[in-house]
Amino acid sequence: MVGHYFDEIVRLQPEGPYHLLGWSSGGALAMEVAHLLERKGEKVNLLALVDSMMPPALSQAHRQPIQEAAVPVDLAELDERNHAAVMMIRGFFPEKSDADIMHKVIEARTAGLQDDRFVRFMINELLGEQSADSPRFQLLYDAYALEAEFSVGYDIYGNISSLANDFELPALHVRPELWWSSVSYRHIDVLEASLVEACGLKGVQGSECLDVAHEAMIYAPAFLQSLKLRLRTYFNADKRA
């Protein structure tokens, strides 16, 4: 995946300086691409990481816990395994709490449901709850239409989970611009210090923590305004150079 992004970026822009931005798992990809570009001798002017994915050890140590659901299961074991699933499902059912979603995820997992059966179970359970008063035909149509989107999201979640398990922070020269969600991570200063040390950096270019949910970060007005101001600084510097 990283190689594909690297090749496509170089095809579209053969020479630097480069400006990269990655949100969530895209942050991990942006770091890897920046590493490859720098190893090639290219200049990366901007590496913007928006509530970026971190390696498993850092994520487990600093991620905000999901609100626990009242089910007889060891949530300490299931939290890491199902966190990405809860994040993905939340995008389809924003009115549901993390506890409601986690309850259904754990129910499906403990029943041994995987892939298509897991997708169908989650749709039937969550869509049925929110559409109890809808006409039956409309409910069936909604479920059919949603299943295709949900299945794609579930496949993406699986690929992202694999990426997360294998991801290690690469060596970098460019100091990143960072935005964090206070809903996603805690002890952000310690998390940043770990990132700086692992990447061999002398610090970060800038850092901001926003009280915005992870899935809303990329279009949150506070983030967009902050990004606009920082980009203006970089592009003005490029013009002067």
Q: How far is CA 168 from CA 29, 41, 138, in A?
A: 11, 21, 46
Q: Is 61's pLDDT higher than 50?
A: yes
Label residue 155 left, alpha or beta by phi (over 0 means left) and psi (-120 to 50 means alpha). alpha
pLDDT at 207: 94
Whether the model clears a pTM of 0.85, i.e. scores above it, the answer is no
Burial category of 207 from C-beta neighbours within 10 Å (exposed 0-12, middle 13-18, buried 19 and up)? middle
pLDDT of residue 115: 67
Note the CATH architecture for domain 18-55+171-240: 3-Layer(aba) Sandwich (3.40)
pLDDT tens string 84-96: 666 667 666 777 7
Amino acid at 139: L
Q: For the chain, what is the mean pLDDT?
A: 77
pLDDT of residue 59: 67
Provide, rounded to the nearest whole percent, the portion of the chain with pLDDT above 90: 33
Q: Which is more confident, 25 or 118?
A: 25
More confident residue, 163 or 182: 182
C-alpha distances (whole Å) from 32 to each of 23, 169, 182 are 13, 8, 24
Identify the residue with better confidence: 38 or 1.
Answer: 38
Domain ranges of the chain: 18-55+171-240, 64-165
The model's confidence at residue 241, banded by pLDDT at 50, 70 and 90, is low
The CA angle 130-134-137, to the nearest 5 degrees, is: 120
Average pLDDT over residues 35-43: 95
Q: What is the pLDDT of residues 64-73, one digit of tens each?
A: 655 544 444 4
Q: Which residue has the higher pLDDT, 141 or 117?
A: 117
Cβ atoms of 177 and 48 closer than 8 Å:
yes
Query: pLDDT category, 77, cuts 50, 70, 90?
Result: very low
Residues comprising the chain, all counted: 241
Higher pLDDT: 229 or 90? It is: 229
**How confident is the model at residue 236, as a pLDDT?**
75
In the predicted model, is pLDDT for residue 168 greater than 50? yes
